[in-house]
Amino acid sequence: MKRRNMMKAVLAAPAAPALLSQSPPAHAQGPVPAAPNETAELATSIADDAATTRTRFFTQPQLNALRKLSAIVMPPLNGQPGAIDAGAPEFLDFLIGASPAPRQQLYRAGLDALNDGAKKRFGKTFADVDVTQAETLLAPLKQPWTYEPPADPLAHFLRDAKADIRTATVNSREYSAVATRGSRRGGGMGLYWYPLD
């Protein structure tokens, strides 16, 4: 839910009039002037509430493959948004584009390898393979996890991408909004350290 919609929902909730009725009857006397040194609180939104990521790093075939991979690794489940709903592939385009060269190369080569493998085995891009065909191409993900990354670049990429897609999804605005619905618990809340002066 976009923040502006959420605010509308809050204001429309039955509890709002009750809360207002417990306030001093100031509303009957018109607006209370702000103290001279006070400034009004302005509610702002995060960019993800109002806009989408412009993809700039991956080629279109690579991005198509990443979207397909994201949809497979983290589909919508149990009412939770999936990676596509959370804009995870587009966020990863930004994140990997800002990352050191080895990580960029891992992703580019990995996505190219998925497309090449799909063309070689099934005559189509990875974005167009069906579920069974994808299962075959993602077989390296079944290898047991080891501290040292796999020597095979595709296996290495898939392992990292699986973790990154999950994190980019679970840490998204969309996922948090659903996870905290009907609950007072904050989704993904953490104690943030501001830069020290």
Partner 1 sequence: MAKREYDVLIVGSGASGGMAAYTLTQLGVKCLLLDAGPKVDFQRNRGLKPVYELPYRGFGRPGKLPHVVQANEFNANQWVDEAEVPYTHDPKEPYNWVRVRMVGGKSLFWARMSFRLSDYEFKAKDKDGFGENWPLDHAELSPFYDRVEPIFRVSGRKEGLAQLPDGVFVEDSSPDTGAAQRIAAAGKPYGVTVTKIRRALGEGPFASSFNLLLPKAMATGNLTIVPNAVVRDLTVDKNTGRVNGVNFVDRKSKREMHAAARVVVLGASCLESTRILLNSGIANSSGVLGRYLHDQFYVSNSVVAIVPEARDGKAPRGLMGGGGYIPRFKNITTKEKNFIRGYAFDFFAGGTPDARYFGSWGAQLQKEMDAVRGASVSGTLMGEVLPRYENHVSVDRKVTDAFGIPVLNFKCKYTDNEFNMAKDAIDTMSEIYHKAGFEVMHRNDSMFPPGYSIHELGTCRMGDDPKKSVLNRWNQSHDVKNLFVVDGSSFVTGGSQNPTMTILALSMRASEYLAGQMKKGEI
Q: Which residues make up the interface to partner 1 (CB under 8 A)? A: 46, 48, 72-75, 77-78, 91, 95, 98-100, 103, 138, 141-148, 159, 162-164, 166-168, 171-173, 175-176, 186-197
Instruction: Give the nearest distance from C-beta 168 to partner 1 in angstroms.
Output: 6
Nearer to partner 1, 5 or 27 (CB): 5
Residue listed under structure tokens 């489940």: 77
Nearer to partner 1, 21 or 44 (CB): 44
Instruction: Give the nearest distance from C-beta 116 to partner 1 in angstroms.
Output: 21
Q: What gap in Å lies between CA 63 and CA 108, rounded to an integer?
A: 10
Instruction: Give the nearest distance from C-beta 30 to partner 1 in angstroms.
Output: 34
Nearer to partner 1, 7 or 16 (CB): 7
CA dihedral sign of residues 168, 174, 178, 183: positive
Cα→Cα distances 16→2, 24, 29, Å: 20, 15, 20
User: What is the phi/psi pair of residue 110, to 5°?
Assistant: -65, -45
Q: Copy the structure tokens of residue 97.
A: 């584009």
Task: Decide: 93 and 165 in contact? Cβ < 8 Å.
Answer: no
Instruction: Give the nearest distance from C-beta 92 to partner 1 in angstroms.
Output: 9
Nearer to partner 1, 66 or 72 (CB): 72
